[in-house]
Amino acid sequence: MNTVMTALWMIAGGSFFYAAYTDSQTMRISNWISLLVMGLYAARWLVSPETTDPIFDGIVFAGTLALGFALFAMKGFGGGDVKLMAAGALWFGHASAFTFLVSTGLGGGALALAAIVIHRTPRTHDILARYAPALLKQRYVPYALAIAAGAVPALYEQLSSWSLVQ
């Protein structure tokens, strides 16, 4: 069972980082990424139901989605960001969602600060044009970068709680 759980964990982690990469390139997060993370939660429930609590995890998912819709309506987040954060909150569940959401918020603050510095430093434009063109936009930032950064401590917390790392 540890092998299957480790595989699910690795795919979930990879999904967050792939979303961050695509968002940094195109300012888009494909729906299939969020659906994959949600499907991985279902697979985790089938393989190891003791790592999930569908009722509480569903409440965390619904709350994150509702807050995300409010932020989307105020033009604070993009739709893909909202869906990925809600899927992440479901994946991390009630046990690690707090770590995920707080870390994502801190990552978002760091991303906003970086965007300000980048837009005021002319020499960074050539580098960003090549590696993260979405950061060159003046109004928005690719928030999946912050979501992936928030996933790191939550993924570690999950691994620790599942006793997959010693």
pLDDT in tens, the chain (166 residues): 478 888 999 999 999 999 999 998 888 999 999 999 999 999 999 998 888 899 999 999 999 999 999 999 998 889 999 999 999 999 999 999 999 999 999 999 999 888 888 777 777 777 777 777 777 776 778 899 999 999 999 999 988 877 654 4
* Confidence at residue 166, expressed as pLDDT on a 0 to 100 scale: 43
- Radius of gyration (Cα) for the chain, nearest Å? 16
What are 73-78's contacts with CB under 8 Å, separation 24+?
77/143, 78/27, 78/29, 78/140, 78/143
* Confidence at residue 163, expressed as pLDDT on a 0 to 100 scale: 65
Angle between helices 144-161 and 79-119 (to 10 degrees): 110
Q: Where are the alpha helices (DSSP H) in the chain?
A: 2-26, 31-47, 54-73, 79-119, 124-131, 144-161
Closest CA to 79 of 69, 88, 87: 69
* Confidence at residue 62, expressed as pLDDT on a 0 to 100 scale: 97
* Confidence at residue 45, expressed as pLDDT on a 0 to 100 scale: 92
* Confidence at residue 138, expressed as pLDDT on a 0 to 100 scale: 64
Rounded to whole angstroms, the Cα distance separating 152 from 129 reads 26
User: Could you say which DSSP state residue 27 is in?
Assistant: S
pTM of the model: 0.89
Please answer whether residues 8 and 43 qualify as being in contact, where contact means their C-beta atoms are separated by less than 8 angstroms: yes
Cα atoms found within 13 Å of the Cα of residue 70, Cβ hemisphere only: 5
* Confidence at residue 164, expressed as pLDDT on a 0 to 100 scale: 54
